[in-house]
Amino acid sequence: MATQHSQKLARSMMAPSVIALLIWMAVPLAMTLYYSTLGYSLYNPISTPFVGIENYTYFLTDPTFIAALTNTMVLVVGVLVITIGGGILLALLLDQDIYGVNIVRLLVIAPFFVMPTVAALVWKNMMMNPVYGVIGQSMSAIGLAPIDWMTDVPLLSIILIVAWQWLPFATLILLTSLQSLSSDQKEAAEMDGAGALSIFWYITLPHMSRAITVVILIQTIFLLSIFAEILVTTNGGPGAQSTNITYLVYQQAISFGDIGAASAGGIVAVILANIVAIFLIKAIGKNLDA
Amino acid sequence: MARQVSRQRKIGMTILAWFVGFLIFFPILWTFLTSFKTELTAISIPPQFLFFDWTTENYVNIQAQANYFHFMMNSIYLALGSTVLGLIFAIPAAWAMAFSPTKRTKDVLLWMLSTKMLPAVGVYIPIYLLFINLGLLDSRLGLIIVLFLINLPIMVWMLYTYFKEIPVDILEAARMDGATLRQEITQILAPMAVPGIASTVLLNVILAWNEAFWTLNLTTSNAAPLTAFIASFSSPQGNFYATLSAASMLAIAPILIVGWFSQKQLVRGLTFGAVK
């Protein structure tokens, strides 16, 4: 009796959050799905005929879409490679016995707290500008021709900016994982004459594998939706060289007023994210049992 | 001999670590320095590092020319508003999940998390049209609701992992000693829940402050926070490096300080308890 009562109470305590999220997720998603079947232009909102899968065929056969899909993948993988690789090295470095390790830690994690628009504009103008940027001036100083980052290598520029923002996240999580490794194991391996490299390969890396998985999955979710960094630096250009799916959907809706095609793009993005999400949910769910 | 080698190693590692830390931090340091330069010094060739005439005119100018304070207040309203709203919803939910778990608790938690993985563009079009129809576009209230909803799953999760660590046995002991329900809550549970709630608040404020999809897409001026104000520098006129730097420093400084103090809790919140 008492438990029944308390379960009822528990359910009513959870209800507001569950209902709020259910509405937030289901209603707009259903509407996106509905819009994606309409010929709906913002410039002529009176006539919205049903067009079936036409928006999808338009969106999926648009060469810009293929470019955007490729860019999205390159962006995600590029940032992951830099942040995981750099994060492991940085975590190993910060795990050493060094003077002022706490201050170095503060310096290393700082970029994570910089809002995307600030990070992107500071890098675009003050670091990567070919004439006035610090990188350009440094290259000129040693006699190299400066690169016009945003024009010549727009996607690489965005990868570098985003990697700078996410490197601290990877480092912090990998370091947390590294510090939970008991030193007994390492010492035992050292006694057996194992070198630093084989200790890293056979003991440290396997220990960090779970944390690495979590970093990859969580970052991928966020990286699929990169938007502000593109908006304030390259506007997706030149051409569509730095347009990702998120930016393409935004462009379809805002610049071309094509609600139907934009909605179809939104659904495609949801499907892509879901593929990753399934793995993430599984990884975290497993941890919940442990 | 061995001690000397390890000392040399420590010095070597220290130099390397400080150098790498300096490189990573450099863009922020450079922004800080540039914010105290005149626009002309900011683009001088070669760049001036420390020995220039320091000026605070940029900080005065961004307020005078762009009404910086307006955007700052919007950022504060949005961060605090969405956090308070989030706490009202998330505390009871997390509490119920931690103290009266059922077979389905885990599924509900994972489902909540899955809503966080819904990409913004999947719901962007209807929300945008809905906001136009309801007159919520460029309103603080509309954005507070959106920010509250996108961060609610993280808040529930984080509070849940903290609440779960509160030992339930202690309540039984208190009951045996004749504590009333009110005493149970105010004197035993609340003090143990406060640190978890505080960390959750910090993380949520950081996330809301830096959110840059909805804040850019659903505001124009009235409700525009700092993310949108800074974005207006993407099509600049004339020299603007020093002004941009001053605006950027003010926009990131509060969160940088909050973030530095809450780095441990951050790992926990952002990995949904998967890495501790």
Q: What is the pLDDT of residues B151-192, one digit of tens each?
A: 999 899 889 988 888 887 777 787 788 877 778 778 888 888
Report pLDDT digits (tens) over B225-271: 999 999 988 876 667 889 999 999 999 999 999 888 887 777 777 77
pLDDT tens per residue across span A215-271:
888 888 889 889 999 999 998 889 889 999 999 999 988 888 888 889 999 998 898
Query: For A70-106, b where at least 16 C-beta lie within 10 A, e where not — what string?
Result: ebbebbbebbbebbbebbbebbbbbeeebeebeebbb
* Pairwise CB contact (< 8 Å): A16 & B93: yes
Rounded CA-CA distance B59/B28 in Å is 17
Search chain B and give the residue with CA nearest A133.
Answer: B43
Closest Cβ–Cβ partner in A134, A141, A269 for B122: A269
Which 3 state secondary structure label does DSSP give A50? strand
CA distances from A231 to A13, A158, A218 (A): 40, 11, 23
What's the rounded mean pLDDT across residues A82-87?
96
pLDDT tens sequence across A191-202 = 888 888 888 888
Task: Give the model's pLDDT for residue B182.
Answer: 79
Instruction: Report the distance separating Cα B27 and Cα B49, nearest Å.
Output: 13
Contact state of A132 with B263 under an 8 Å Cβ cutoff: no
Say yes or no for a CB contact (<8 Å) between B230 and A132.
no
The predicted structure's pLDDT at residue A186: 78
pLDDT tens track for B54-108? 888 889 888 888 888 999 999 999 999 999 999 999 999 998 898 888 888 888 8
Q: How high does pLDDT run on average in chain A?
A: 88
Q: How many residue pairs from chains A and B have C-beta atoms closer than 8 A?
A: 297
- pLDDT score of A289 more than 60: no
Contacts of B156 in chain A (CB under 8 A): 17
Residue carrying the six token digits 């793009």 = A265
Q: For chain A, which domains are there?
A: 63-257 (1.10.3720.10)
- The yes or no reply on domain B68-270 and CATH 2.40.30.10 is no
| DSSP element (H, E) containing A213 | helix A205-223
pLDDT confidence tier of residue B46, bands split at 50, 70 and 90: confident
Q: Is the pLDDT of residue A1 over 50?
A: no
Among A85-94, A123-132, A268-277, B169-178, the least confident range = B169-178
Q: Which two tokens stand for residue A53?
A: 């899968």
Write out chain A residues lying below 8 Å of B95, CB-based. Answer: 13
Q: 3-class secondary structure for A141-187?
A: HCCCCCCCHHHHCHHHHHHHHHHHHHHHHHHHHHHHHHHCCCHHHHH
Complete DSSP assignment for A77-91: HHHHHHHHHHHHHHH
In A, minimum Cα distance to B86 occurs at A17
Rounded to the nearest angstrom, the minimum Cα separation between B143 and chain A is 13
Query: Quick one: pLDDT at residue A132?
Result: 85
Could you count the other beta carbons within 10 Å of the beta carbon of residue A231? 23
**CB spacing of A123 vs B119 below 8 angstroms:** no
CB nearest A21 (choices: B13, B122, B153) = B153
First to last CA, chain B: 38
pLDDT digits (tens, 9 = 90+) for A18-56: 999 999 988 999 999 999 998 888 887 777 788 888 889
The larger pLDDT score, comparing residue B104 to residue A120, is at A120
Locate the domains of chain B by residue range. 2-57, 68-270
Write down the pLDDT at residue A119. 96
| Positive/negative CA dihedral, A182, A183, A186, A189 | negative
